[in-house]
Structure formats: C-alpha cells, structure tokens
Amino acid sequence: MALSLAPSSSIYVAGHRGLVGSAICRALAQAGCTNLLTRTHVELDLTDQAAVRRFFDEARPDFVFLAAAKVGGIHANNSSPADFIRDNLLIQTNIIDAAWRNRVKKLLFLGSSCIYPKFSPQPMKEEHLLSGALEPTNEWYAIAKIAGIKMCQAYRKQHGFDAISLMPTNLYGSGDNFDLHSSHVLPALIRKFHEAKINKLPEVEIWGTGTPKREFLHVDDLASACLFLMDHYSSTEIINVGSGQEVTIADLATLVSEAVGFRGELRYNTTMPDGTPRKLLDVSKLSALGWKSQIVLRDGIADTYSWFLENALVARR
C-alpha cells in the first residue's frame, strides 16, 4: 500500500548537497514539506555504521530518500573502482538497515541505468536486470547498486520493510559536478566549450568516438518522479526513470556547443573509453502509472549552462 508524504512528515534526504539530493529537497519544499532532516558529511559520515545508527535513533524520520552515493563519470568509475564499490556498499547498507531498525515508514533507494548488462536489449526493461555481463568501466559501481536493490528486496521479503528502488538514467542539471576528471559527459562538455570560447581555443576534445548513445534526464524531472513514486509506488520490483529519448555523444556535443556559443572544431580522443554503446531505459512501467518527464534536453542544457555561469566560482571544479 502506497503512503503519502504530508507537509508535516519527517523526511530524511541523504545526500542533500549532491545533484539528486538537492533537487529532491527543492521539490519537497515546493510540495510544502517543511520537516526535512539533512546532515552534511562533516556532521554525519554515512560510511560509519555506528554514527548512522545513532542518527536514526535520535532523528527517527518517517520517510527516507537515499540519494547519498559516490558517483562520477566514466573516467572516475574506471580509475577508482575500490572507492566506488566500498563507499556505495557502506552508505546504502548502513542507511537501509538503520531505517528498518527505526521503523521508517518508507525508503526510496536510487540505483542507476548501469545496473543493466552492457549488451542488454534496448530499450532496457526492468526484467533485464542480472541477465548478462556488466559494462567493465563501471561494474564496481553497478554491483554496489545491484546489492542495494537486493537489500531493499530482502528487507521487504523478510521484514515487510517498504523500500522501493528507482533506476534513473544519466542525470544532469543545477548543482552538477563540473570537474573534468570526475564529472559526467554533459557538465564536462559545458565547461570545456565555455572555457574554449572564453580562451578563443580552436578545438575541444571529446572523449571516445562520439558514437555511444545516452539518454539524459534533468534532475528536476527525477526529483518530481521520486516524490510521485514515494506516493504512488510500493513494490519489490525496480522501476526505471528516464526521458525515453537518446542522443549520440556527437549530437550532444553539437547541442552543448550551440548552447554555449562555441564555434570551433571537435576532436575525438579515441584513447578514452566509450563505455556501453547504448543504454536507453524502457519507461513504459512508469508511464503507465501516470508520470512523464517535462524538461526537453535543449532547455535543460540551457538551464544547466546558466547555473554553471552563475555558480562557476563555487562549482566543484
């Protein structure tokens, strides 16, 4: 049975300073939810089991949005596999267990589209989970996220804990990470094109061949889906959250260069990995529940570029 968020509900947003967590906080505030619990990394180290248990014992939230995670783009995933698998396993295990122990009414766990096999049929349906080998550049992160899904399912099966798991596609938007080593492709391209324009450079380097396809979802759309599913979904089955639209990296580069106003050349560095060739989510399950994304990619890129310009000095660069 689905539960409803009320203005007075006590809601813990884990990872409230990140791309996803900050968008969820904005959406909750817009929905009139005023009783939000947040803790910075300095106040609460989510990899510390005893500290997480203490926090839940004291704070006793009714609802939990588990948006805290170690995330990054293809290069970060590929070069720090130990950090990605360790931090994500610890964070999600500590929170899911402490939430159940403290009788949280409902928990929403965020996975990722990279949990699906590298050569999954497209678009990828929820039932394609664990049907083939993973993409090697991010299998460490993917395995941690799959463990999170299984933990939610196990706690529901054994304890009746209402934990749901959402699989978002590639995200972007206000508050993104613009560090060129650790970011995802969209914020990286915004920064590269912007700096090339300012410095009057003749070309911008794009990693890989430009042929992989990716589906992008604005983080405000994801936050809207999170609130919708917290209210309307209660199941052991995972559910995809995407825009249903994919573009090649080359087409994305053209869109971003137009938004930024860069007129030089694109140079493809094929010594950098492409990653999975395609990962388009099948969003028919979510559509059938009555939710669809609102922000088209061109508008979302313009919005993110504006955020970058206004926040460039404080953005994580």
Footprint of ligand GFB on this chain (CB under 6 A)?
A: 73-75, 77, 112, 114, 137-138, 141, 170, 183-185, 188, 206-208, 212, 214, 249, 272-275
Complex with ligand GFB: residue 77 or 94, whichever CB lies closer: 77
* Nearest distance, CB of residue 33 and ligand GFB, angstroms: 27
141 is catalytic: yes
From 141, 172, 233, 305, the catalytic residue: 141
279: annotated binding-site residue? no
CB distance 259 to 301 below 8 Å:
yes
Question: How does DSSP classify residue 279?
Answer: E
285: annotated binding-site residue? no
Give 191's contacts (C-beta < 8 A, 6+ positions apart): 178, 180, 183, 308, 317
168: annotated binding-site residue? yes
Taking residue 261's Cβ as centre, other Cβ atoms within 10 Å add up to 10
How far apart CA 251 and CA 165 sit, in angstroms, is 31
Complex with ligand GFB: residue 67 or 185, whichever CB lies closer: 185
Residue closest to ligand GFB when measured from CB atoms: 73
CB distance 238 to 300 below 8 Å:
no
Helix and strand totals (H; E) in the chain = 10, 12
Angle at 256 between CA 251 and CA 258, to 5 degrees: 95
Complex with ligand GFB: residue 56 or 141, whichever CB lies closer: 141
Give 225's contacts (C-beta < 8 A, 6+ positions apart): 166, 168, 241, 286, 291, 293
How far apart CA 256 and CA 294 sit, in angstroms, is 19
15: annotated binding-site residue? yes
232: annotated binding-site residue? no
* Nearest distance, CB of residue 280 and ligand GFB, angstroms: 12
Give all strands (DSSP E) within the chain, no chain letters: 11-14, 36-37, 63-66, 106-110, 163-168, 170-172, 203-207, 213-218, 239-241, 246-248, 265-269, 278-279
269: annotated binding-site residue? no
* Nearest distance, CB of residue 276 and ligand GFB, angstroms: 6
Complex with ligand GFB: residue 154 or 272, whichever CB lies closer: 272
17: annotated binding-site residue? yes
Complex with ligand GFB: residue 138 or 304, whichever CB lies closer: 138
Cis? peptide before 7, omega within 30° of 0: no
Annotated binding site for NADP(+): 15-21, 110-113, 145, 168-171, 184
Annotated binding site: 15-21, 110-113, 145, 168-171, 184, 192, 207, 214, 274
Annotated binding site for substrate: 192, 207, 214, 274
Catalytic residues: 141
